[in-house]
Amino acid sequence: MQHFLFINNLIYSMNISKENLRKIVEEQYEMIIKKPVGIPREKLSIIAEKKKATHVIIITGLRRCGKSTFLRQIMHFYYHDENFYYLNFDDERLVGCTSEDFDLIYEVLLEQFGDHQVFFFDEIQNVPKFERFIRRLHDLENKIYLTGSNATLLSSEISTKLTGRHLDIELFPFSFREYLKLKDVEINNSLLYTTKGRGKIIKLFDNYLHKGGMPEFLKINDYEILQRLYEDILIKDITVRYKIQHVRELREIVKYLFSNIGQKTNYSRLCKLVNIRSPNTVKNYLDYLQLTYLGFLIPKLDYSVKKQIVSGQKYYAIDLGIVEYISVKLSRDLGWALENLVFLSLRRKYPISKIFYYDNGSECDFVIRNEVKVRKAIQVSYFLDEHNKKREIEGLLKIMKHFNLDSGLILTYEQEEELDTPAGLIHIIPVWKWLLQE
């Protein structure tokens, strides 16, 4: 196989010598091999099938959500820690690297580690026009794994050169299941169906509800980690990348959204709140938040796109620990925290384009639409009592009837019940139990 097909006529554009590049490559390889495998992520199970395909595997997600550790797990469980190349482009010594440097990088990798056909590249979106090199590697029948902290890696840059040749994986902070693994808690019947077990799991769930699922923060429990993460996303991933001049406006918008999780908002309202003249500027800011995985917007379910925009959208955050740090709320409203957790679980399972809220006389927190048909209706209520139970049930029944659903779901903090109605079953389940079932 002609691995040296494109090594002729090298152009060394980095301000780094070949010898120093060799040291970087060696140090990074030694670092990744020594890196602990960590808690096996749930997404790891899908690698078995994706590994068989010839496609490039693209892994995206929030900064510090565990993408490098996920790569480490793939190396360990699927390649037995051998016969691959690794390079992390988030290394400050590689700043200024361009697509023209890839030939030199490949030459150094071959010299140092021999001839392999498996490549792991971390944060490759830091290199402009990286997709051209990846296409060439792919054409040489190499298996390639890429990570990036920006969702555009899934679209414009890579899709242009690799149309139909890449498979996408989105990695999120720890799910509740993964959080329990971190705490060495085994999920079994004793845990789920005994008083002692339920008490233990609810205590852990309360902690997860406040601290979220960012791996490094959960291990060290220092909010400075979340502060540094937030600043890196805001400055490096958004302000610098998209050349934003008015950072204060961006900060105010993020603070407002994180303090009003699950509340309807629109571009005009945000313009007035932060004194921005152009709704298009606000739209761009919200797009950047979604591209960097800091948060997500879901629209009202309506077959008119114009009505979706006018009706406003709801914002949900990627992690409740980050919300705890950014939000200006003086008290915790656990209702919205539960709602945010439910959204994240749905988002792990469905693309954002399939998740909506519904409001047409009867309100519903989440509806899942598959193609043109609504498949699920989910309400979230911290506690059902005499004041809201009838309203929540009747509203859900109307939605079930409207969309011809045979069941509906109400998620609570700890209440559990099953209602058999003429319109279909209504399941009332604690969020923590639903998260484990999901």
pLDDT at 156: 59
Count Cβ atoms below 10 Å from residue 77 Cβ, excluding itself. 14
- Which residue from 235, 64, 34, 50 is spatially nearest to 147, judged by alpha carbons? 64
Query: Which pLDDT tens digit goes with each residue over 48-76?
Result: 999 999 999 999 999 999 999 999 999 99
Q: What is the C-alpha separation between 290 and 297, in angstroms, rounded?
A: 8
Cβ atoms of residues 326 and 256 within 8 Å: no
Q: What is the C-alpha separation between 426 and 424, in angstroms, rounded?
A: 7
Query: Which pLDDT tens digit goes with each residue over 412-438?
Result: 999 999 999 999 999 999 999 999 987
Matching residue, tokens 């993020």? 254
Structural domains of the chain sorted by starting position, each given as residue range(s) with its CATH number in brackets: 18-171 (3.40.50.300), 335-438 (3.40.1350)
Matching residue, tokens 């590689």? 94
The gap from C-alpha 36 to its chain's centroid, in whole angstroms, comes to 22
Q: Compute the radius of gyration of the chain from its Cα atoms.
A: 24
Structure tokens that stand for 410 in this block: 């109400």
pLDDT at 329: 66
- Which residue from 207, 399, 385 is spatially nearest to 301, judged by alpha carbons? 399
If one compares 306 and 385, the residue with the highest pLDDT of the two is 385
pLDDT at 155: 59
Q: What is the C-alpha separation between 41 and 58, in angstroms, rounded?
A: 16
For the chain, give the mean pLDDT.
91
**Residue 16 per-residue DSSP state:** S
pLDDT at 9: 38
pLDDT at 213: 98
pLDDT at 151: 78
- Which residue from 147, 157, 138, 150 is spatially nearest to 86, judged by alpha carbons? 147
pLDDT at 302: 87
Of the listed ranges 190-194, 282-286, 389-393, 401-405, the one predicted with least confidence: 190-194
Structure tokens that stand for 160 in this block: 């242009």
pLDDT at 133: 93
**Strand-strand pairing, 355-359 and 363-370:** antiparallel
Q: What is the C-alpha separation between 167 and 236, in angstroms, rounded?
A: 26
The gap from C-alpha 89 to its chain's centroid, in whole angstroms, comes to 20
> Can you tell me the mean pLDDT for 98-102?
91
Query: Which pLDDT tens digit goes with each residue over 270-295?
Result: 999 999 999 999 999 999 999 999 99
Q: Who contacts 278 (Cβ-Cβ below 8 Å, separation ≥6)?
A: 271
Of the listed ranges 126-130, 293-297, 392-396, the one predicted with least confidence: 126-130
Element holding 390 (H helix, E strand): helix 389-402
Query: Which pLDDT tens digit goes with each residue over 156-204?
Result: 567 677 777 889 999 999 999 999 999 999 988 888 888 999 999 999 9
pLDDT at 154: 63
> Can you tell me the mean pLDDT for 392-405?
94
**Strand-strand pairing, 295-299 and 118-122:** unpaired
Residue 230 clears pLDDT 60, i.e. is over it: yes
Model-level pTM greater than 0.85?
yes
Element holding 103 (H helix, E strand): helix 102-113
Tell me the three state secondary structure of residue 176: helix
Q: What is the C-alpha separation between 124 and 315, in angstroms, rounded?
A: 28
Residue 12 clears pLDDT 70, i.e. is over it: no
> Can you tell me the mean pLDDT for 293-311?
84
pLDDT at 303: 77
Question: Residue 15 — pLDDT band, cuts 50, 70, 90?
Answer: low
pLDDT at 149: 87
Cβ atoms of residues 215 and 173 within 8 Å: yes
pLDDT at 52: 93
Backbone angles phi, psi at 56, to 5 degrees: -70, 135
If one compares 387 and 355, the residue with the highest pLDDT of the two is 355
pLDDT at 283: 95
pLDDT at 1: 43
Query: Which pLDDT tens digit goes with each residue over 105-114?
Result: 999 999 999 9
- Which residue from 399, 405, 326, 330 is spatially nearest to 365, judged by alpha carbons? 399
Length of the chain: 438
Share of the chain above pLDDT 70, in %: 93
Cβ atoms of residues 250 and 296 within 8 Å: no
Query: Which pLDDT tens digit goes with each residue over 318-351?
Result: 999 999 888 876 555 689 999 999 999 999 999 9
pLDDT at 190: 82
- Which residue from 435, 396, 385, 388 is spatially nearest to 419, judged by alpha carbons? 396
Query: Which pLDDT tens digit goes with each residue over 142-162?
Result: 999 999 888 776 655 676 777
Structure tokens that stand for 98 in this block: 């361009």
Element holding 164 (H helix, E strand): none
Element holding 432 (H helix, E strand): helix 431-437
Alpha helices in 168-294 (DSSP H): 176-182, 189-193, 195-211, 215-220, 223-232, 247-259, 267-274, 279-291
Share of the chain above pLDDT 90, in %: 78
Cβ atoms of residues 264 and 313 within 8 Å: yes
Q: What is the C-alpha separation between 39 and 264, in angstroms, rounded?
A: 36
Question: Residue 33 — pLDDT band, cuts 50, 70, 90?
Answer: very high
Q: Which of 68-77, 90-99, 219-228, 233-242 ranks highest by mean pLDDT?
A: 68-77
